[in-house]
Structure 1
Amino acid sequence: MGSIPIGRIAGFPIAVNWSVLVILWLFTWSLASTLPDAEPGYPTALYWVAGACGALILLASLLAHELTHAILARRAGVRVFDVTLWLFGGVTRLGGDAKTPKEAFRIAVSGPLTSLMLAAVFGAAAYGLDSVGAEPLVAAVGWWLAAVNLLLGLFNLLPGAPLDGGRVLKAYLWRRHGDPVRAGVGAARAGRILAFVLIGLGLLQFLTGSVVGGVWLAFLGWFIFAASREEETQAVTQQALARVRVGDVMTAHPHTAPADITVEDFIHRYLLGDRHSAYPVADRDGTIIGLITLVQLRGVEPGRRADTLVREVAIPLPEVPTAAPDEPVTVLLERLRSQAGDRALVADSSGLVGIVTARDLSRLLEVYRIASAPSQAPHH
């Protein structure tokens, strides 16, 4: 939420969340506050300039971390929606999972390895600057960048979802047990244990006088706890949905829209008074040629509705996700994510038999999340 697109890198859309301003300030303040002790004698303004430069370079390092995930995912055939920088570093949104444990491992471990490699590069650069007698303040920023990237790389390798180390653990458990769902549950539970440890350490720091560090560590632990619970719920839901077929959730025999009537006729004769918001478009011989939804209708100006045919604004059939009635719902969900769709037409050998909408899938997911929630025994 609140992310601002800033362009594309290597073909991936890049966005920055407003919360990046928080970490940009924290990094700048942290570096500007520690530099006077490490390298005294410079004007105060120069420390703040060095702090801001170091913070911006660190954000670029975080972006490199996420872009490595995205590049490895694309090579593995996984669709990448976008890369976003935010309060806790960055997130790469993927349109599915890797096909094998080996590919999942490569995608997961690539980010921390990038951070560790950058730590080595910044450390070597700082050492070189010290060796040739360059400006000490610049070398100090280099050492700081090396230390923070080292910390980020090692922290992300901690074995618990949603950290990269949790993804590595999931890949290992997947390879060991042959079950990606069981592996996901195991990695999520490890993430919960890690969260409790971080919260405990944060409270300990808080009680011993390190207020800011303690609160930050506890807050980070709380975030990991919430995210790991969500991941476990998703894994359990996916396991339950594996037994559900598309035919079980589709709307059978959906109303169709004639391709050769005008948009105005379609609105008055079909859309008004009907509860449906998506219609397969049928040619004169009954062949389905596309799909029309409220999105396409909104794109037609009121003055053009009487002169525009439904077939002219419908989504062509090759661009509409399709499914078979006996397919698992989980397969359809992956297909919809990869095609960025929210509806699918269901067909068998006889032709169109149904339609699955986002509302159908959302209700199904909600029902199975409720059903799969752990029950609590009554206290006596």
Structure 2
Amino acid sequence: MTVSGIRIGVDMTWFVMLFLLIFLLSGSFQSTLRSSSTVAYMTTVATVLLFYGSLIVHELGHALAARREGIAVQRIELFLFGGTTFMSRDSQTPGEEFRIAAAGPLGTLLFVLVCLGLDLALVGSHRLLDAILLNGNIQITPVLLALSWLLAMNVLILIFNLVPAYPLDGGRIARAVVWRVTGDKLRGTRMAARLGEGFGVLLGGLGLFLTLNSGSFVGIWLMFLAFMLWQSARVALAGTAQVSRVSGVRVSDVMDHEPVVVHGTSTVEQAYDEVFLRYQRDWLPVIDGDGHFIGIARRNRADELVRAGEGEATVGSILEPGSERLAIGEDRPLTEVLALDSLGRLGAVIATDADDTLTGVLTLDQVRRVMQTLTAAPAAR
């Protein structure tokens, strides 16, 4: 399924949770509705599917906010514990981080308000509380039951997500605030991750208590969720430790200062024969007459033109759209490279000076070697 150009998929664990929710809710829905098993089952299925629809709304909030910040969204995926949005890079400013993190809870709040408005339209303001609590003062219909359950669940999700513990949205918001105040992203991540560790332990303790006292599925589910949160927080903490060790390294310290380049005025045939084939490169950085980086050219595109007899076209005419934005300043910290789209797109980043003159190329392999060398250095001592 695709929404606003964003592909939405499901993990195999999603099916497990889908069937579990339908199984666990069917009995209580039937007793609440006092109806046939068929009506209760259909109401349960529709409600659970709408519930996952609300999770998609939450993730679309993140995804659309990320796109407004210029971050490519690869996909949204639903899984056992909810959903996640896959983006091409991490936030580069505290403002970006805050807006993207807050957009998910805003999507959930919007869904809550829609459910509340529909409840209000069905029963009126004087019986709204009775409808939400599903007490015996009003007739419970399938629609009212679904709306009230969805309302309650999304309020819980909203509150849970705003807990200031990484990787929850509240933790990312807290990270953005600390980042903004201190100017240090690592400090913000470290603080939010430590809160995430603590929250994971507390949530796991609550799950264990519920399991031992009632043997309920909720307790077991909370323990699994707590472990996932705790593990994510631990990974984030380990990541900050690694990044802090390379924080003083600049792009110019490790890049290739004499990369293979091609001039934009060269013909495609000349570039293909003399550079692409000679150096066996899938892409090459392209410069103008003054050495300024103007984009990248792909070998497959050059091959197409040569085979079509159009090799006299200039390399500058086959630049990949938007590739002129794939550069980073040579004086920038190596840690910033890790968040760049071009590192995944090209397996490298283009380095330029203050005048946009191409000064080097930094490959993914070079980044990995530097990270491995610097993070292994303490253990070697």
Q: Which moved more, 1:326-335 or 1:305-314?
A: 305-314
Q: Give the Cα separation in 1 of the matches to 2:152 and 2:181.
A: 34
- Any conservation in 2 of the 1:66–1:83 contact (CA below 8 Å)? no
Which residue of the partner structure matches residue 205 of structure 1?
Answer: 210
Which residue of the partner structure matches residue 166 of structure 2?
Answer: 161
Does residue 66 of structure 1 match 2:59?
yes
1:184 pairs with one of 167, 189, 214: 189
Q: Give the Cα separation in 2 of the matches to 1:223 and 1:307.
A: 55
Q: Give the Cα separation in 2 of the matches to 1:107 and 1:149.
A: 19
1:26 pairs with one of 7, 20, 26: 20
Question: Once the 2 structures are TM-superposed, how far is the Cα of residue 224 of structure 1 from its aligned partner?
Answer: 0.7
What secondary structure does 2:350 align onto? strand
2:91 pairs with one of 83, 94, 97: 97
1:363 pairs with one of 361, 369, 373: 369
Question: Once the 2 structures are TM-superposed, how far is the Cα of residue 176 of structure 1 from its aligned partner?
Answer: 4.4
Pair 124,292 (structure 1): closer, same or farther in 2 beyond 3 Å: closer
Does residue 228 of structure 1 match 2:233?
yes
Question: Once the 2 structures are TM-superposed, how far is the Cα of residue 191 of structure 1 from its aligned partner?
Answer: 0.5
2:254 pairs with one of 249, 254, 263: 249
What secondary structure does 2:238 align onto? helix
Q: Which amino acid aligns with 2:202?
A: V
1:322 pairs with one of 322, 327, 331: 327
Which residue of the partner structure matches residue 270 of structure 1?
Answer: 279
1:49 pairs with one of 30, 42, 59: 42
Q: Which moved more, 1:189-198 or 1:207-216?
A: 207-216
Deviations 1:146-171 (A, max 9, x none): 11111111111222100011112223
Does residue 84 of structure 1 match 2:76?
yes
Q: Give the Cα separation in 2 of the matches to 1:356 and 1:98.
A: 19
Q: Give the Cα separation in 2 of the matches to 1:127 and 1:288.
A: 59
1:14 pairs with one of 3, 7, 21: 7
What secondary structure does 2:84 align onto? strand
Which residue of the partner structure matches residue 133 of structure 2?
Answer: none
Which residue of the partner structure matches residue 3 of structure 1?
Answer: none
Q: Which runs of 5+ in 2 are unaligned?
A: 128-137
Q: Please, what TM-score do these two structures have when normalized by structure 1? A: 0.77
Q: Which moved more, 1:19-28 or 1:194-203?
A: 19-28
Deviations 1:285-309 (A, max 9, x none): 988765455xx43994699399757
- Any conservation in 1 of the 2:287–2:358 contact (CA below 8 Å)? no
Pair 128,248 (structure 1): closer, same or farther in 2 beyond 3 Å: same
- Any conservation in 2 of the 1:289–1:316 contact (CA below 8 Å)? no
Pair 72,300 (structure 1): closer, same or farther in 2 beyond 3 Å: same
- Any conservation in 2 of the 1:78–1:98 contact (CA below 8 Å)? no
Q: Which moved more, 1:279-288 or 1:317-326?
A: 279-288
Does residue 145 of structure 1 match 2:150?
yes
Does residue 35 of structure 1 match 2:29?
yes
Q: Give the Cα separation in 2 of the matches to 1:115 and 1:356.
A: 41
Question: How many residues were matched structurally?
Answer: 357
Pair 306,255 (structure 1): closer, same or farther in 2 beyond 3 Å: farther
Please report the RMSD computed on the Cα atoms of aligned residues, expressed in angstroms.
3.7
Pair 362,34 (structure 1): closer, same or farther in 2 beyond 3 Å: farther
1:117-132 equivalences in 2 (<5 Å): 117-126=110-119, 128-130=121-123
What secondary structure does 1:252 align onto? coil
Q: Give the Cα separation in 1 of the matches to 2:337 and 2:92.
A: 16
Question: Once the 2 structures are TM-superposed, how far is the Cα of residue 368 of structure 1 from its aligned partner?
Answer: 4.7
Question: Once the 2 structures are TM-superposed, how far is the Cα of residue 120 of structure 1 from its aligned partner?
Answer: 4.6
Q: Give the Cα separation in 2 of the matches to 1:365 and 1:165.
A: 30
Q: Give the Cα separation in 1 of the matches to 2:369 and 2:254.
A: 9
What secondary structure does 2:165 align onto? coil
What secondary structure does 2:197 align onto? helix
Pair 229,350 (structure 1): closer, same or farther in 2 beyond 3 Å: closer
What secondary structure does 1:26 align onto? helix
Question: Once the 2 structures are TM-superposed, how far is the Cα of residue 369 of structure 1 from its aligned partner?
Answer: 4.9
Q: Give the Cα separation in 1 of the matches to 2:322 and 2:45.
A: 52
Q: Give the Cα separation in 1 of the matches to 2:50 and 2:282.
A: 48
Question: Once the 2 structures are TM-superposed, how far is the Cα of residue 364 of structure 1 from its aligned partner?
Answer: 3.2
Q: Which amino acid aligns with 1:354?
A: G
Which residue of the partner structure matches residue 378 of structure 1?
Answer: none
Question: Once the 2 structures are TM-superposed, how far is the Cα of residue 238 of structure 1 from its aligned partner?
Answer: 3.6
Question: Once the 2 structures are TM-superposed, how far is the Cα of residue 225 of structure 1 from its aligned partner?
Answer: 1.4
Does residue 304 of structure 1 match 2:330?
no
Q: Which amino acid aligns with 1:50?
A: T
- Any conservation in 1 of the 2:342–2:348 contact (CA below 8 Å)? no
